[in-house]
Structure 1
Amino acid sequence: MDGTDPREDLAFAQACARGDAEALASFEARLVPQLRKALLQRGMNIPTTEEALQLLRVKLFVRSGDRPPRIADYEGQGPLLAWLRVAALRTALNLIRERKVPLEVDDSRLEEVASPVDDADRRYIKDRYRDDFTRAFQEALKALAPRARTLLRLHLVEGLGTAELARAYRVDRSTVKRWLAQAREGLRAEVRTRLAARIGVDTPALGSLMRELQSQLDLSIRSAMRDSTPG
């Protein structure tokens, strides 16, 4: 349960889904304190944290019509604790929005607050949303203006420096640097828009994935463009 063997996590989750009293007591004693700490560390106040945890308990362990308890959705892909942290954060953020209480943070700050800080969380999120992120990135790359796409290819794939690009476009180097910066920022913004449409703007994973992209943007562009047709 604490990021050990996923098979043990899966067996534990299945026991909770069946309503096993010992498993539910263990969930309350061992996992709830860690989920509470995760929410408080991300800026949630105590009343919101406790309400979110209670809503999470209902979602996880109570059937809804013919639908089994939500904890049955866990398939053993990554640590159960990481999966639960994401679920708890999503529940808390949805609770805040449903109350329609103005947040004194912009989207970038919300992403920072919602982003998991645990390595296990990050690994789980990357695995869980890998396909969504890849599609959003590829679509965003294709949506770039032709000049922006060509500049990124020439610079990151073909290895041309800004001086060479400046000569090719008959502009000064500062202009080329500005164009490259605009291309990178335009791509990042487009990825965020498309990824949010796929997984939800209030999904805690969005902030984590965008921070990952920001740290490895050039590498991601180079990898995606290496085998594609020049734009």
Structure 2
Amino acid sequence: MNDARRPADLLWHHLAPPAREKLGSPAAIGPLLEERLRAAKDAWPAVDLPDAVFVPQIAARLQTAPAPADALASLHISDLYLACACAEGHRAALAAFDARYIATLDRALQRITRGGVSPDDIKQILRQKLLVAEPGRPPKIADYAGRGDLRRWVHAVAVRSGIDALRAEKETPTEEALLDAIELGGDHPELAHLKDTSRAEFKAAFRDALNALPDRERSLLLQYHIDGNSLEELGALYHVVPSTISRSLAKARATLFGRVRVTLMLRMRLTGEEVDSLVRLLQSQFELSTNLLESRRQKPGG
């Protein structure tokens, strides 16, 4: 009995008091934890990750859950087991991860690669990014929380890595390219004057706002406005319908311009009314450029 409860006792040791209160006792969570551990180990029989390493990682993912037992039951436990083993540098886990999740990315990466960047280049970047520790922090694979499918998580990181690699090949900074995209619909005298007289502040505000966006929102804006991907192409890339991409783009643009507004007020000491007027100009130019992009994509051969 004591041997069977060891993982539960270990879990209990690593849980904070609020999570313990929700569970009641180690015995209450023991059977479910044992079942989940068996499922993880059965999925990867060649991978031997000690409970003393894995169970604390499970505990970390239950700490803030409203219902820790439900959270444990819903974890993608075999995916989490493999990810944790990779973060620890286990050779069998690294080989299994590469074969299952990286080597099979070619089809997805072909949608975004072009020029001098190949799917193999991106896969190598991905291996380095996910599996190699940096000074002061573990490999990025340790960030996988186990709440979603590992394949989708790797796919999302791969897409972002591919986009970053493509942009690194270009010499134009992303904020410059996005500012140029705003000008697609023709310029406005007031906007042109601001960009000519205060371009450094304007660029800095735009750059800060762009970099502050969540990764997915930032990637969507750049993929759509800079890389020229259509709503349909982005939908296929992210496994959602085009209307979802359209809503996500609208949200990203709203967040971007909200951040630009705040940054301009701080950097250029403009009044709220002046900034609101400027941001409306930016939004109108952005919307015009978006409409032009869509109309061009819908033309045969365009």
TM-score band by shorter chain is 0.3 to 0.5
Q: TM-score, normalised by structure 2?
A: 0.37
Higher relative CO (Cα under 8 Å, sequence separation at least 6) belongs to 1
Using the size of structure 1 for normalisation, the TM-score is 0.46
